Amino acid sequence: AFEDTTSARNEAATLRSAGAWILQDLNAIPEPCQEKARGPLRTMGEVKHYLAQVDQYWSDIHAIPDGVHSAQDAINAISLITGVGLLTPLFLVLICCLSVLLAVVCSNRGRCSLCCVQCLGPLLFAPTVILVAAAAATQLEVAVVSSSFCADVDSNAMAYIKHAFGANSTAYEVSKYYITKSGNNPLLTDLHEASVTIESVKSTVATYGDAVARACPDWHG
């Protein structure tokens, strides 16, 4: 998703550059030739409209890749924290078992081993039991919340996006289009309108461009 949205943002920059070049070429038509270049010059308004459409598309798309990247980073961080949370109690229990084993093996007398175990009780065993209990409670709570969210994941995801970005935001409309398969994709709408406009401009310039170039050799459109 991050690569796709980044490509879309780069495409917006390319479209903006293309429109700017066309407008620059039209503005470069010498004044004596402008009478013969009425056809191409009529498209200047269309080019400006095209640039406005591309700017709208840019304003819609430019923040989405960063949002997707942030979401991916958050998911990775949650995965790391979850993994550490699962392994830490297991690691402490393993240390407790090894401590008891070492106390028994290294002690020459049973009384000494019992004394070592009694010393380890408040220092290691009790904190480990408390930590394992807390970890188990946390994991149970996370499991309950996750299962509740996943019971209707589409609706819950849309509710979160609506709360985070607003019901009238582009992010919400795009998410609704892809998640629920309903509504319109504003990004595709902007691109379609810009494509129609630029094709009209290209057709007009192609029709009159050769005639203007012959009449104005200094102009290269």
pLDDT digits (tens, 9 = 90+) for 5-56: 677 777 777 777 777 777 777 777 666 666 655 656 566 677 777 777 777 7
Residue 205 has pLDDT above 70, yes or no: no
Query: What separation, in Å, do the N-terminal and C-terminal C-alpha atoms of the chain show?
Result: 38
Mean pLDDT of the region 113-131: 73
Residue 2 has pLDDT above 60, yes or no: no
Q: Letter for the amino acid at 202? A: K
The domain limits of the chain are: 1-215
Mean pLDDT of the region 180-205: 74
Q: Letter for the amino acid at 81? A: I
Q: Greater confidence, 209 or 17?
A: 17
pTM: 0.51
Residue 106 has pLDDT above 80, yes or no: no
Neighbours of 186 (CB within 10 A): 19
Contact assessment for residue 29 and residue 39, using Cβ atoms and an 8 Å cutoff: no
Q: Greater confidence, 76 or 213?
A: 76
Task: Give dist(CA 16, CA 31) in Å, integer.
Answer: 26
Residue 221 has pLDDT above 60, yes or no: no
Q: State the helix-helix crossing angle for 64-106 and 110-120, rounded to 10 degrees.
A: 160
Task: Give dist(CA 35, CA 18) in Å, integer.
Answer: 25
